[in-house]
Amino acid sequence: MTVEKVGVNAISFYYPKNVVDQSELERFDGVGEGKYTKGLGQIGMSFCADNEDVNSLALTATKRLLEDYQIDEKSIGCLVVGTETIIDKSKSVKTILMDLFPNNTDIEGCDVKNACFGGVQALFHAVDWIYANYELEQRNAIVVLTDIAIYEKGPARCTGGAGAIALLITPNAAIHFQRPRAIFAKNNWDFYKPIGHTSTEYPIVDGKISLGCYVEALNACYDTMKEKSKKLYKREIWLDDFSAVMLHCPFTKLVQKSVALLALNDAKQKHTNGDHTDYAGIDFSAKISVHDRETMTSLVKASGEIWKTKTDPFLVFNKNIGNMYTPSLFAQLIAYLGLRDQNNSDREKPEQLLFFAYGSGSISAMFAATLDRKNAALENMIKVSKESLENLTKRQVLTPQQFTDILEMRERFLHADAPKIPESLSKNGIDLAPQRAFYLDRVDAMSRRFYKSLE
């Protein structure tokens, strides 16, 4: 048999119930009004107490995927996890998830780590596994993207978030990935989490360098994507070819500027080809810096229609949850599905989706997918995606002081000697999702973690 159209055929999303309002956090932190909301484009930030960790988030998303789509555990032959939230230097999150497959020990895969990019590489592994093994195995793959992003007190703390997404990867999928893949990898020190004498969840980050690394990778990937696509399809590709343009989102304003730079790339090429452009006054030969406020303002304005129709509507989770690291990119896919009925684009045209993934350090990729409107699996994915959007309004809004206290609680738990029990389990006012959410119940004297679920 021919294995083709490999991609996403089921999707699940879990994010914590606790959220802090970014405008309230601005006042609490004593920064200028609009610093987090207008300056970064953020609305809310989800966060975890000490009773949730990267394993519990992954368990919740994966269990919901299996249950909501009635997936037989024996139909899975590969399970790959992408995460940078390391709570064990050896044991992978994938091994914890095997508790959900008690009757199936023949499942390939483990964890993939490189900052926010690990989830996309996990996806690539799963897609390639299907192409290589499905004919013999007749089994599918699951990819889990799970992270908790928190920062020490200071300017980066407002860019946290948390979540987990599980994807079922199959042949003949409703959302299937296309060739080519464009990759950009380089040794950078923009964001990292070194092992030292003191355990910490907080990274070392240089925000200005990180933005430059992101933009360098973006431009390189788009150039490579255009070059490879021209060789493969014998034609140019443009942003206009895609129904949605989805980019990894540390915060919204970076994505808006990045879309402007992609649009500039198209305009440069069209200008070279003698086509009319709307970029009067822009020196196409100049090197554009994302930190050049005046030029970026002009580019953002020029790319406004692309931003408004192809990217901004699908950042609803990113704006309201924050930076989830590995799940951040595919949260936009879930929003695209959930808002699909509201999208005014021409439904007679093929729905092509463009993705850009970035992970500090750094590794990045650009790739595309096609959404098949006739695939029966799409209906369930749209239903689940709409429920994920609705759940944004059901979260528990806590004050900035409560948020700060909870992060301090996480620090105490991290540094406490085993055995230990999360403090939040005995405190009022800290909840998980109302049902089907796993939580950390205890850590025993041998530092083994045990989980329970809310049924």
Taking the chain (455 residues) in consecutive chunks of 10 residues, what is each chunk's mean pLDDT? Answer: 94 96 97 96 97 97 97 98 95 98 98 97 98 97 98 94 98 97 94 82 86 95 96 93 97 97 91 66 78 88 95 98 98 95 58 97 97 94 97 95 96 96 82 78 97 87
Given the DSSP bridges, would you call strands 175-177 and 161-170 parallel, antiparallel or unpaired?
Answer: unpaired
- Angle, CA of 251, 54 and 168, to the nearest 5°: 85
Residue 1 inside a domain? The answer is no
Residue 410 inside a domain? The answer is yes
Number of domains comprising the chain: 1
Domain with 224 in it: 7-454
Q: Using alpha carbons only, how large is the chain's radius of gyration in Å?
A: 22
Residue 330 inside a domain? The answer is yes
32's CB contacts (< 8 A; 6+ apart) are 26
Residue 186 labelled as part of a binding site: no
Q: Which residues are catalytic?
A: 84, 116, 248
Taking the C-alpha atoms of residue 10 and residue 5, their distance in angstroms, rounded to an integer, is: 14
Distances (CA, A) of 161 to 17, 49, 234, 235, 420: 11, 12, 41, 40, 25
Which CB contacts under 8 angstroms, 24+ apart, belong to 121-124? 121/82, 121/363, 121/365, 122/80, 122/81, 122/82, 122/326, 123/80, 123/82, 123/167, 123/169, 124/181, 124/365
189's CB contacts (< 8 A; 6+ apart) are 206, 209, 361
Taking the C-alpha atoms of residue 128 and residue 136, their distance in angstroms, rounded to an integer, is: 14
pTM: 0.95
- Angle, CA of 455, 107 and 137, to the nearest 5°: 120
Taking alpha carbons only, the member of 63, 134, 101, 130 closest to residue 436 is 63
Residue 253 labelled as part of a binding site: yes
**How many of the other CB atoms lie within 10 Å of CB of 351?**
19
Residue type, 381: M
Output the pLDDT for position 286. Answer: 77
Taking the C-alpha atoms of residue 189 and residue 318, their distance in angstroms, rounded to an integer, is: 25
Residue 257 labelled as part of a binding site: yes
Taking the C-alpha atoms of residue 443 and residue 421, their distance in angstroms, rounded to an integer, is: 6
CATH code assigned at 447: 3.40.47.10
Output the pLDDT for position 429. Answer: 62
274's CB contacts (< 8 A; 6+ apart) are none
Taking the C-alpha atoms of residue 357 and residue 218, their distance in angstroms, rounded to an integer, is: 9
Distances (CA, A) of 185 to 167, 173, 416: 25, 29, 38
Taking the C-alpha atoms of residue 196 and residue 166, their distance in angstroms, rounded to an integer, is: 32
Residue 88 inside a domain? The answer is yes
Residue 2 inside a domain? The answer is no
Q: What is the DSSP string of 70-108?
A: T--GGGEEEEEEE----S-SSS-HHHHHGGG-TT----B
Residue 29 inside a domain? The answer is yes
Cβ(331)–Cβ(389) below 8 Å: no
Taking alpha carbons only, the member of 2, 36, 56, 115 closest to residue 422 is 56
Residue 192 inside a domain? The answer is yes
Residue 314 inside a domain? The answer is yes
Q: Which residue in the block uniquely carries the two structure tokens 């928190």?
A: 150
Output the pLDDT for position 426. Answer: 86
Output the pLDDT for position 433. Answer: 62
Helix (H, G, I), strand (E, B) or coil at 314: helix
